[in-house]
């Protein structure tokens, strides 16, 4: 991955610094960040910087370019990264919980890594309902995004290649994602239809009345990082719920849930700061890693 060409167009307005806790800590704008390779794995890849940048410079792409450069610079660098993130690689490089034995039609539910861990009972309910009423099975695998964020290109490419081959060999023509990270990561990378669970629910006529959740107060909505720009998944959700939209207040002052970009091991203080802010609020979200910070989550499903 190459450094974004528009980095040199930075006008040093400092909007990114004001928006991002990471950039604030090191007092650097995006152009300066592009010169600090030693901070490659300190960015949470939340994309808040790009959203406020008048030149559309993408800090997450800068970070990923720096990571790729580090890995490609030497075999020792690659080994250093592999050692530091060995637990992540052990679980997800060739996903140890992979299971393609429950495909029963051309459509499959794809929970990804997080939903299965954080919502096992909800997942069982979803899988039973979709299997019994709609003849839709499930595939357990990792989309590859956590590995891709390390910057080891060959591992990323191999994961995506195997996932697509496994799906196609089983006759899968539609992948229904539960995780927003899986949706945004896989959609441009494989030649199989990718849709969100919320789109599928709308297609099947499954809608819900949530007006009882919070009749008087505003509902705080934590939009996960991959959906911040387009808010496509958020809009898909709003189509299937009966809720006074004026009550929804999006949280825009917290960059990340604290687990993005594999940055927490290098920026634990920043991550804990995000967590502390989140713990003080009652949230509605559709990003399952938020549960790790023990936030009260009002599930859509």
DSSP string covering 128-188, please?
Answer: HHHHHHH--EEEE---SHHHHTTT-HHHHHHHHHHHHHHHHHTT--EEEESSHHHHHHHTT
191 shares its domain with 131: yes
Q: Is the pLDDT of residue 229 over 70?
A: yes
Report if residue 14 sits inside a domain: yes
193 shares its domain with 101: yes
Domain boundary among 33, 55, 84: 84
77 shares its domain with 102: no
Domain boundary among 145, 180, 203: 203
Half-sphere exposure of 260 (CA within 13 A, CB side): 25
Contact 297, 283 (CB under 8 A): yes
Number of domains in the chain: 3
174 shares its domain with 259: no
Q: What is the pLDDT of residues 193-216, one digit of tens each?
A: 999 999 999 999 988 776 666 566
Q: What is the pLDDT of residues 180-194, one digit of tens each?
A: 999 999 999 999 999
Give the pLDDT score at 248: 80
What is the domain range of residue 49?
Answer: 5-84
Report if residue 89 sits inside a domain: no
Mean pLDDT value of segment 136-143: 97
Report if residue 34 sits inside a domain: yes
CATH code assigned at 138 = 3.40.50
Q: What is the pLDDT of residues 66-83, one digit of tens each?
A: 999 999 999 999 999 999
109 shares its domain with 182: yes
Report if residue 277 sits inside a domain: yes
Tell me the average pLDDT of the chain.
Answer: 89
Report if residue 90 sits inside a domain: no
Report if residue 171 sits inside a domain: yes
103 shares its domain with 65: no
Alpha helices per DSSP H over 170-267: 180-186, 197-203, 232-240
Report if residue 123 sits inside a domain: yes
Domain boundary among 203, 236, 262: 203
Orientation of helix 59-73 relative to helix 153-169, angle to 10° = 110
46 shares its domain with 103: no
Report if residue 109 sits inside a domain: yes
Q: What is the pLDDT of residues 14-57, one digit of tens each?
A: 999 999 999 999 999 999 999 999 999 999 999 999 999 999 99
Contact 115, 146 (CB under 8 A): no
pTM summary value: 0.90
119 shares its domain with 176: yes
Give the pLDDT score at 244: 77
| Residues whose CB is less than 8 angstroms from the CB of residue 119 and which lie 6 or more positions away in sequence, other chains included | 288, 299
Q: What is the DSSP letter of 291?
A: G
Q: Is pLDDT larger for residue 117 or for residue 42?
A: 42
151 shares its domain with 199: yes
């Amino acid at each position: 991955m190459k450094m974004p060409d528009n980095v040199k167009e930075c006008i040093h307005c400092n909007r990114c610094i004001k928006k991002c806790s990471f950039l604030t800590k090191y007092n650097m704008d995006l152009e300066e960040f592009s010169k600090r390779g030693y901070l490659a794995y300190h960015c949470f890849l939340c994309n808040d910087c790009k959203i406020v940048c008048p030149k559309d410079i993408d800090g997450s792409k800068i970070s990923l370019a720096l990571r790729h450069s580090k890995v490609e610079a030497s075999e020792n660098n690659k080994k250093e990264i592999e050692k530091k993130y060995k637990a992540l690689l052990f679980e997800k490089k060739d996903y140890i919980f992979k299971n393609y034995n429950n495909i029963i039609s051309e459509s499959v539910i794809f929970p990804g890594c997080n939903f299965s861990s954080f919502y096992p009972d909800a997942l069982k309910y979803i899988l039973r309902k979709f299997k019994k009423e709609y003849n839709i099975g499930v595939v357990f695998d990792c989309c590859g995004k956590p590995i891709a964020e390390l910057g080891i290109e060959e591992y990323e490419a191999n994961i995506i290649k195997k996932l697509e081959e496994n799906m196609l060999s089983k006759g899968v023509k539609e992948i229904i994602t539960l995780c927003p990270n899986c949706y945004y990561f896989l959609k441009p990378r494989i030649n199989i239809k990718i849709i969100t669970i919320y789109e599928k629910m709308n297609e099947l006529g499954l809608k819900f009345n949530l007006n009882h959740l919070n009749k008087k107060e505003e509902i705080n909505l934590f939009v996960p990082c991959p959906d911040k720009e387009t808010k496509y998944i958020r809009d898909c959700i709003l189509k299937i719920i009966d809720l006074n939209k004026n009550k929804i207040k999006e949280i825009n002052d917290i960059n990340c849930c604290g687990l993005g970009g594999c940055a927490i091991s290098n920026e634990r203080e920043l991550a804990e700061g995000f967590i502390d802010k989140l713990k003080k609020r009652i949230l509605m979200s559709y990003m399952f890693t938020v549960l790790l910070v023990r936030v009260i989550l009002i599930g859509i499903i």
